[in-house]
């Protein structure tokens, strides 16, 4: 479990020094449901403090230190579900739960070479989980394969009277016949510039190969792109404003300076002053984003893009000053769908992230598929079909 989920008898630190001694005498709904299904809680897993609320400059922004990547321990495992991605990749656990507000399942999945499933907003109860953003937070599984993610999601999804935002829906995978048929008929939206223009030198070849492999499994690719909208600033405004409200007592209290990352502390303080007008404009933009997705989904069933355009970054590299290099190319005039993580989270859409090979630096890269609300059965079937034809998800770091 990512350490923002409460588990009776275990510390729940939220990755932050002010909460290092916190225990919550109850199980989160997801913890309880996994226990009922026969799951055994092996560990609470490290995370970026407060799930990255306020933004942060270094991977070391955590009570437990930087999330180290099992493929290269001098590289980052990704945030904010750092421990969840690393533990699965290293073979320490068969699956783990992470959470995503805007990339916290997708980034560790891509950097660590594991499969991550971000559910539709409201499909999985957040009762007993630390809140960063009431309108964005989602809890989902990370595992070796899409099939394993499906097993975990089936156990944790479903209605919950303790979570007012619960969608009241359950998850069931497609039956075998439907799952076999889906890849041949599904229409997949893809913008080739996501790889051609945006991928780093290290990641590009493996991403190109991954797209070609997926195309052999699911051949009906069509070109569709999201409209140019300020997806990143909008999602940042929403979770900053909501997070500042949630953590206002900490921010204004005596233990605030115990937080590790100076940029995060500055961001949290500044978030207290976000104007209502800016927050409401960001929320209104979400209706445009949802409408844009709905329009694309009249011509395509799912959207394909890269998980991340780069491989895992060094744990010492500042995250807000990456510099422009071959490993981090300048933005293209063709944005394609590289804003899909931010856009998909604004719209509350499900996504599956899965590995598609290794970059020239030996580090994992991956793809993502995003679908309409509650399309998890289709997303799982597509990723599973890809994984039945490839072995990227079976690769292990040498250290593990």
N-term to C-term CA, the chain: 20
Q: What is the crossing angle of helices 231-246 and 262-271, to 10°?
A: 80
Token pair listed for 322: 């990456």
Question: Among all chains, which residue has been given the structure tokens 């600033």?
Answer: 233
- Are 75 and 100 spatial neighbours (Cβ–Cβ below 8 Å)? no
Report the largest interatomic distance among the alpha carbons of the chain, rounded to a whole angstrom.
59
Active-site amino acid positions: 2, 80, 104
Strands (E) located in the chain: 68-69, 72-76, 95-100, 115-118, 138-143, 188-189, 221-222, 302-306, 351-358, 364-370
Beta-bridge partners for 143:
95, 115
Token pair listed for 190: 């893809």
Q: 193 phi and psi, to 5 degrees? A: -70, -20
Give CA–CA dist 156/28, Å, rounded.
11
């Amino acid at each position: 479990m990512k350490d923002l989920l409460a588990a009776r008898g275990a510390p729940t630190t939220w990755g932050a020094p002010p909460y290092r001694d916190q225990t919550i005498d109850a199980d989160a709904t997801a913890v309880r449901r996994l226990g009922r299904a026969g799951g055994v809680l092996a560990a609470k897993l490290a995370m970026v403090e407060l799930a990255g609320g306020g933004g942060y400059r270094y991977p070391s922004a955590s009570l437990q230190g930087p999330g180290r990547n099992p493929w290269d321990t001098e590289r980052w495992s990704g945030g904010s579900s750092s421990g969840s991605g690393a533990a699965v990749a290293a073979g320490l656990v068969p699956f783990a739960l992470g959470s995503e507000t805007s990339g916290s399942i997708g980034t560790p999945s891509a950097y660590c070479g594991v499969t991550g499933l971000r559910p539709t907003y409201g499909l999985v109860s957040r009762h007993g989980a630390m809140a960063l953003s009431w309108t964005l937070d989602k809890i989902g599984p990370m595992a070796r394969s899409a099939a394993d993610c499906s097993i975990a999601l089936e156990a944790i999804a479903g209605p919950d009277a303790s979570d007012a935002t619960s969608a009241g829906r359950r998850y069931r995978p497609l039956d075998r016949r439907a799952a076999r048929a889906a890849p041949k008929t599904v229409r997949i939206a893809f913008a080739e510039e996501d790889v051609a223009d945006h991928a780093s030198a290290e990641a590009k070849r493996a991403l190109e190969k991954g797209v070609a492999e997926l195309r052999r499994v699911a051949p009906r690719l069509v070109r569709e792109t999201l409209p140019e909208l300020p997806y990143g600033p909008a999602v940042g405004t929403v979770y900053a404003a909501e997070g500042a409200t949630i953590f206002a007592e900490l921010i204004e209290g005596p233990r605030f300076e115990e937080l590790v990352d100076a940029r995060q502390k500055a961001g949290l303080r500044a978030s207290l002053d976000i104007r209502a007008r800016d927050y409401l404009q960001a929320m209104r933009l979400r209706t445009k984003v949802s409408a844009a997705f709905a329009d694309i989904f009249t011509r395509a069933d799912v959207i394909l893009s890269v998980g991340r355009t780069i491989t895992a970054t060094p744990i010492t590299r500042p995250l807000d000053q990456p510099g422009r290099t071959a490993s981090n190319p300048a933005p293209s005039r063709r944005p394609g769908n590289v804003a899909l993580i931010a856009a998909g989270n604004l719209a509350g859409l499900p996504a599956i992230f899965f590995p598609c090979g290794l970059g020239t630096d030996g580090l994992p890269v991956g793809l993502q598929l995003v679908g309409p609300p509650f399309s998890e059965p289709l997303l799982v079937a597509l990723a599973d079909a890809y994984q039945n034809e490839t072995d990227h998800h079976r690769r292990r770091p040498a250290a593990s």
